[in-house]
Amino acid sequence: MNDAARGTRTRAALVAAGIELFDRDGYGATSLDAVCRRVSVTKGALYRHYPSKQALAVAVVEEHFRRWHEVRDAIERRGAGPLATLVELTGEMNRLARTDRVVRVGVRLLFTSELFDLLAGVHVACLSAVVRDLLGRAERAGELVAGLDLRDEADGITSAVVGTQALAAVATGPGGRPDALWRHRLARLATPRVCGGLLGAAAGLTTGTPSTPPRRAPRRTASG
């Protein structure tokens, strides 16, 4: 194995150890010595890749960000339209904040006092960009009612998603309610052509088993 491959494997092992220990013991109680012992590497080897515990935490949060894109890609490959993708994406990431260690730890790290200034703004900006992109696509696909301020709508959705995901990551029960996030918004955002199916999908988000989202509806063309 060459040095580059060995380095890649070591970084992945360190991140996996960080996720495990941050989840089990919390960020504050996890030491870099514990991470090194978990992976059986020296402190010097760790520092070559991550010069501080904060740097390791950033790498863990990047894995959380990657999950957003992976889940979005999977939903879009099934043929969901942009607004349906946004509804299911937010619901699935809320579910993963309870059930997936990477997402759960990533969300918790975002709200750790030592890391908040470093990470929270980046997370909100990245999430907001995803929401704006999908709303823009939905508008171009004719899924949104006319006259919406997409920037304001994206800011509101982003704020609600951050809150529900944070609740899901720290709650022992169901956590945040993504169905509540969408129930009233969809009636105001979506055209009648897509609203009914999306409301059904949103209702299923509470149980983590959303209905199959509607596929992209064909655009109507003027006749004659």
Q: For 97-132, what is each residue's pLDDT tens digit?
A: 888 999 999 999 988 878 888 888 888 899 999 999
The fraction of the chain above a pLDDT of 90, given in percent, is 58
Residue 223: inside a domain: no
Query: What amino acid is encoded at 68 in this protein?
Result: W
| CA-to-CA dists, residue 71 to 30, 37, 148, angstroms | 29, 32, 27
What CA–CA distance (Å, rounded) separates 80 from 73? 10
pLDDT at 174: 52
Pair (91, 197) in one structural domain: yes
Place of tokens 């309870």: 98
At residue 173 the predicted structure's pLDDT band, cuts being 50, 70 and 90, is: low
**pTM above 0.85?**
no
Burial of 222 per CB tally in 10 Å (0-12, 13-18, 19+): exposed
In a domain, 212, yes or no: no
Closest CA to 143 of 221, 223, 218: 218
- Residues 2, 96: one domain? no
Overall number of domains in the chain: 2
Structural domain boundaries, residue 39: 1-51
Mark residue 154 as left, alpha or beta (left: phi above 0; alpha: psi -120 to 50; beta: remaining): alpha
Task: Evaluate whether 110 touches 168 at the Cβ level (below 8 Å).
Answer: no
Can you give the length of the chain in residues?
224
**Rounded-to-integer distance, Cα 183 and Cα 173, Å:** 21
- Answer yes or no: is pLDDT of 191 > 70: yes
Mean pLDDT to the nearest integer, 150-166:
90
Range 54-82 average pLDDT: 95
